[in-house]
C-alpha cells in the first residue's frame, strides 16, 4: 500500500512539474486545487470528472497519428512546432473562444468589468462574488429587515464558486471534445509533419 501511495505522490509531482514547464501560471493555479475538489464539482458527468482529473494530472494525449507528432488540429496552429496541453486548453484560438464565452456569461453578474483570468479559470475559484448577487441580497435585507439572514456574502461566494467550477469543467470538456471532433470527424486534413 505504501508503494502505491509513493508512486501516486511521484506521479502528481511529475504532473505539477510538467504544468510548470509548459505554463507556470497554469501550474500555480492548478496547484491550488485540492484533488477532492475535482470530485465535488456539482453537475459533472463521470466523463467530465475523468477529463478534469486527467487534465490536472497532465495525462491527456496530444499525439495525432496522421501527423506523426503532437499537433493541434486548428488550422491557425498548423505551423506551431510544439503543441502542449497549455496550448490546447489556453493558447489555442479555439480555446480562447470558449473562455471568452464563459467569461462573458459570468461578467453579466457584475456591475463593472471583472476579468476572469487564467488564475480564476484554472484554480476553479472566482476571486470576487458576483456584485449583482450581493446587491440583490442587500436590497432584500433593506426591503425585509425582519427576514432570516442566512444568505451571507460567504454563502453567495460559495454558491457562485460551485457554478464557476462547473462552467470551467464544462469548458475544458468542450475544448477537448472539439479537438477530438476536429481530429476524427472533420473533413479537414490535419497538417502532416512535412507541412510543419
What residues contact residue 15 under an 8 Å CB cut-off, 6+ apart?
A: 56, 57, 58, 59
What residues contact residue 109 under an 8 Å CB cut-off, 6+ apart?
A: 130, 131, 132, 133, 160
Across the chain, mean pLDDT equals 84
CA angle 113, 115, 116 (to 5 degrees): 140
Q: What is the pLDDT of residues 65-75, one digit of tens each?
A: 877 888 888 88
152-to-48, 78, 163 alpha-carbon distances in Å: 31, 49, 17
Residue pair 85/60 in contact (Cβ under 8 Å)? The answer is: yes
Q: What is the pLDDT of residues 118-164, one digit of tens each?
A: 899 999 998 877 877 777 777 767 777 666 666 677 777 888 888 89
| Residue 72, Cβ density class (10 Å: 0-12 exposed, 13-18 middle, ≥19 buried) | buried
pLDDT of residue 190: 43
pLDDT of residue 179: 92
Grid cell 454558491 in the structure block, residue: 159
Question: pTM of the entire structure?
Answer: 0.83
Confidence band of 31 (pLDDT split at 50, 70, 90): very high
Amino acid at each position: 500500500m505504501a508503494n502505491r501511495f509513493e508512486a501516486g505522490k511521484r506521479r502528481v509531482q511529475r504532473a505539477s512539474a510538467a504544468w510548470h514547464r509548459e505554463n507556470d501560471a497554469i501550474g500555480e493555479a492548478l496547484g491550488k486545487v485540492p484533488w477532492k475538489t475535482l470530485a465535488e464539482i456539482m453537475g459533472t458527468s463521470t466523463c467530465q470528472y475523468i477529463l478534469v482529473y486527467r487534465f490536472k494530472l497532465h495525462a491527456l494525449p496530444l499525439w495525432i497519428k496522421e501527423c506523426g507528432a503532437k499537433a493541434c488540429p486548428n488550422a491557425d496552429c498548423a505551423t506551431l512546432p510544439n503543441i502542449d496541453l497549455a496550448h490546447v486548453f489556453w493558447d489555442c484560438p479555439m480555446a480562447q473562444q470558449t473562455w471568452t464565452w464563459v467569461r462573458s456569461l459570468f461578467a453579466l453578474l457584475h456591475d463593472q468589468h471583472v476579468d476572469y483570468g487564467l488564475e480564476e479559470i484554472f484554480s476553479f475559484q472566482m476571486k470576487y462574488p458576483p456584485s449583482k448577487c450581493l446587491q440583490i441580497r442587500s436590497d432584500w435585507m433593506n426591503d425585509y429587515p425582519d427576514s432570516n439572514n442566512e444568505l451571507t456574502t460567504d454563502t453567495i461566494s460559495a454558491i457562485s464558486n460551485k457554478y464557476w467550477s462547473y462552467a470551467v469543467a464544462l469548458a475544458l470538456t468542450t475544448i477537448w471534445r472539439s479537438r477530438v471532433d476536429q481530429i476524427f470527424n472533420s473533413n479537414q486534413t490535419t497538417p502532416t509533419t512535412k507541412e510543419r
